Structure 1
Amino acid sequence: MSNTTPATSHADPPTPSDRSGRRFSRAALLRGAAGTTVGLGLTGSSLIRGTPTASAAPTVHKIKDLTGPGLTSAYQMEATDLGIPTRMPDGRMIFIFGDSFARTVGDPDWRSPTALFSATTDLAAGVTWSGAFGGDRAEQLWAYQHDNPEFSTVLPSDVITIGGSLYLHVMVNKGLGNVVWTEIWRSDDNGGSWVHTGAKFDAGRDNGLFQLITWGLGDDGFVYVYSTGFQRDKPIILHRVPADRIAQPDAYEPWGYAGGTWGWGNAPTPVLEGKAGEMCLRPMGGKWILTWFDAGNYRIDSMIMDTPTSNLYEADRQTLIHGGSWGQEDDTHVAQLYGGYIIPGSTLNDLHLSVSQWNTTEGAGNWPYHVMQFRVQGLG
């Protein structure tokens, strides 16, 4: 990679198109939709805005590509994205991927979600793979037909380990960005098999702000959930749910502003305005950290806070990786980036992320469409 700062701005990214040639794809959402942000008048988050704090800028380096030819060819998934990780009960890591193909986007063996396993302990040396769900070939985690009359694909939001089980939240889409519902699946055998929990959430829940989620388990027995829409043009809201009721939609309690104060059980109020994309919330080192794709500013940011209910406008916020232009990338500028998930084993001072990239420029052949590993030092 060069050390040249991208010459073009996020205002003029490549124009993407989906597999059928329509101007609509995950990459098309990288800019975030134009429009006004959700306003709250003189109540809600307008009352909690402060001056964001920022510590010294961290050092960011790309470690390696995690997927692609020669890296995931053995699992017949060279083209894939996301790579959302968690530590499994047996100590290994599982990474959950989105739309996956043997060679290139649009191949007939479309699968999503898929999963790879890793026993890596030295993150600085780079994550390596020890196997795939399905064996030699990375299979879809459960059977369904893509582009069926009801929906087109199922995309993962986040995965969490609670006790001896993994819980995976997914978005059921009919055309990317058009969520028809979301649901939770569970594995009780370290990702070897998956069953539907029965939890199903309407896409219009909380005015469409409970579609794309991220979650983390607190030491108080609650799972804290940040969520937004899957259009990259909406703010973030907060819920909590008892860990033992994670598969009960009516157990999710919103955090909101009412009667001059914030509290649980109030109608959800945005805790962070903007145009949020993929997010990753994790407890770490006695704090909480959120990493997310800030679509409105075309970059991946991080925020360290005391608790998920902290004032996010006063939290320590850093930009980790800027969006860039093709041919003008370096360790901190990546073209058509998204994702940004925290890899288990990270610390606040030595953070590792899985970051996605999809080249949708004409003539590029939808490549790269892959996942990379980045290291962030000195954040905390």
Structure 2
Amino acid sequence: MGGISKIGDLTGPGFTDAFGIGGTDLGIVTTAPDGRLVAVFGDTFDRAGVGGPGWRSPVVLFADPADVGSGLRWTGSGGDTEDYACRLVSKPRTKIFKPHHRVTTILPADVITLGDTMYLYVMANKGLGNVRYTEILASHDNGVSWERTGAWWPGTHYDGLFQQLTWCAEDDGYVYAYTTGFQRRDGLLLHRVPAERITDPDAWAPWGFAGERWGWGNPPTLTIPGAFGELNLRKVPGPGGREYRLLTFFDAGNYRIDTMLLDAPNADLHHAPRMTLLQGCAWHDEDHDGGRVAQLYGGYVVPGSTLDDLHLVVSQWNTATNWPYRSMQFRADATPLLG
């Protein structure tokens, strides 16, 4: 592992009370068109922990990018009021979502800014991990309010491997997305879509192997096997001002958060340089500044990071006691990826 240290907690008592958030997780961060940082969180409750009053998901908090190095500080929240982080969209009521698609929670997977619009990919679950469908939401006011775009996929799309998603825009005009299931037991698929058609499901093309070659539009083929959880594809600057493409993820099979350095959007993941950022451990063996975190997941790169000063939002949930249930900020040195 590279150098690792904990910057501090981001949510919970003393950090997010002002927005009606006692317990929450995830915290997927991107930059809004107006320059603010927008962080999207999952299941949220008024009290510290899981359960109790005030449940909603997903919710948004805003931060000043100047605070990345010292730890994010929340300056506002999305929804109808600035002092209570509201659920971004209501549960589905339109006729395209049939009765058997009833959901218990809508969880964020990743958020991206394209021009003056933000897009949020979410998973609608009936019971955690039982994804009924996924869809794309959009915000035209820097993440304050969100609306349905009409772009959605059944949870069974590509045999259930189009549920958890991360995406990144490239200079060729495409958005590239890695996907997997939400059960933390599968490998990764890769897709691309023209940026201007991101909300058109017919415009999405998988990367697959057929006729002895890889190509776009072939039947989707695993780019790498594994037991992947939360995913985060981002570009960060490194030595010499060069931009580096990182795929950071929760490796459930090995109980850790790893990152890989990709030399292209469709890189050979079998040979991509890879390193562990944080290792899971038992509760009695925690050492956050030593890179050991109990019941960890997530691992989202904070904008403003560099390769040698990589900031991550990491979640932790003690499923036995339901506290801690929070998001935290860590920093790491990922330059060992360069060899």
Q: TM-score, normalised by structure 2?
A: 0.92
Q: 1:336 aligns with which of 291, 295, 300?
A: 295
What is the one-letter code of the residue matched to 2:32?
A: M
Deviation at 1:287, TM superposition (A): 2.7
- Which ranges of structure 1 fall in alignment gaps of 5 or more residues? 1-56
What is the one-letter code of the residue matched to 2:244?
A: K
User: Residue in 1 aligned with 2:163?
Assistant: 211
CA contact (8 A) 1:120 1:128 kept: no
User: Residue in 1 aligned with 2:246?
Assistant: 289
CA contact (8 A) 2:109 2:121 kept: yes
Deviation at 1:223, TM superposition (A): 0.3
Deviation at 1:284, TM superposition (A): 2.8
User: Residue in 2 aligned with 1:82?
Assistant: 26
Which digits, 9 at most, give the CA deviation of each residue in 1:270-290, with x for residues without a partner?
111100000000123333100
User: Residue in 2 aligned with 1:94?
Assistant: 38
1:143 aligns with 2:90: yes
CA contact (8 A) 2:184 2:252 kept: yes
User: Residue in 1 aligned with 2:265?
Assistant: 308
CA contact (8 A) 1:68 1:79 kept: yes
User: Residue in 2 aligned with 1:259?
Assistant: 211
User: Residue in 1 aligned with 2:228?
Assistant: 276
Q: Which runs of structure 2 are paired with 1:66-81 in the superposition (5 Å)?
A: 66-81=10-25
Deviation at 1:217, TM superposition (A): 0.6
User: Residue in 1 aligned with 2:185?
Assistant: 233
1:325 aligns with 2:270: no
Deviation at 1:186, TM superposition (A): 0.2
- Point out the structure with the larger strand share: 2
Counterpart-to-counterpart distance in 1, 2:272 and 2:18:
43
Counterpart-to-counterpart distance in 2, 1:277 and 1:247:
24
Aligned to 1:138, the other structure's residue is in SS state coil
Q: TM-score, normalised by structure 1?
A: 0.82
Counterpart-to-counterpart distance in 2, 1:284 and 1:321:
19
CA contact (8 A) 2:168 2:234 kept: yes
CA contact (8 A) 1:62 1:374 kept: yes
Deviation at 1:124, TM superposition (A): 2.1
Q: What is the alpha-carbon root mean square deviation over aligned residues? A: 1.5
CA contact (8 A) 2:91 2:103 kept: no
- Which ranges of structure 2 fall in alignment gaps of 5 or more residues? 93-98, 238-242
Counterpart-to-counterpart distance in 2, 1:284 and 1:63:
19
Identity %: 54
Counterpart-to-counterpart distance in 1, 2:176 and 2:306:
19
Deviation at 1:143, TM superposition (A): 2.4
CA contact (8 A) 2:120 2:136 kept: yes
What is the one-letter code of the residue matched to 2:135?
A: E
Deviation at 1:128, TM superposition (A): 0.7
CA contact (8 A) 2:317 2:324 kept: yes
Aligned to 1:99, the other structure's residue is in SS state coil
Counterpart-to-counterpart distance in 1, 2:51 and 2:112:
30
Deviation at 1:378, TM superposition (A): 4.1
Which digits, 9 at most, give the CA deviation of each residue in 1:48-104, with x for residues without a partner?
xxxxxxxxx420111100001010011111100000000000000000000000113
Moved more, 243-252 or 127-136: 127-136
User: Residue in 1 aligned with 2:123?
Assistant: 171
Counterpart-to-counterpart distance in 2, 1:348 and 1:275:
25
Q: 1:378 to 1:293 in 2, by over 3 A?
A: closer
Deviation at 1:136, TM superposition (A): 0.8
Which digits, 9 at most, give the CA deviation of each residue in 1:197-246, with x for residues without a partner?
10011111111110110000111110000000000001100000000000
User: Residue in 2 aligned with 1:367?
Assistant: 323
Which digits, 9 at most, give the CA deviation of each residue in 1:312-364, with x for residues without a partner?
11111001100011122112110000000010001112110000000012xx3
Q: 1:120 aligns with which of 65, 71, 82?
A: 65
CA contact (8 A) 2:138 2:146 kept: yes
Counterpart-to-counterpart distance in 2, 1:86 and 1:109:
25
Aligned to 1:130, the other structure's residue is in SS state strand
CA contact (8 A) 2:46 2:54 kept: yes
Aligned to 1:334, the other structure's residue is in SS state strand
What is the one-letter code of the residue matched to 1:130?
A: T
Q: Which runs of structure 2 are paired with 1:245-256 in the superposition (5 Å)?
A: 245-256=197-208
CA contact (8 A) 1:182 1:200 kept: yes
CA contact (8 A) 1:241 1:251 kept: yes
What is the one-letter code of the residue matched to 1:138?
A: A
Moved more, 270-279 or 103-112: 103-112
State how many pairs are aligned.
320
Moved segments of 4+, more than 6 Å: none
Aligned to 1:192, the other structure's residue is in SS state coil
CA contact (8 A) 2:249 2:258 kept: yes
1:349 aligns with 2:303: no
User: Residue in 2 aligned with 1:27?
Assistant: none
Counterpart-to-counterpart distance in 2, 1:123 and 1:171:
28
Counterpart-to-counterpart distance in 2, 1:222 and 1:284:
18
Higher relative contact order (CA 8 A, sep 6+): 1
User: Residue in 1 aligned with 2:104?
Assistant: 152
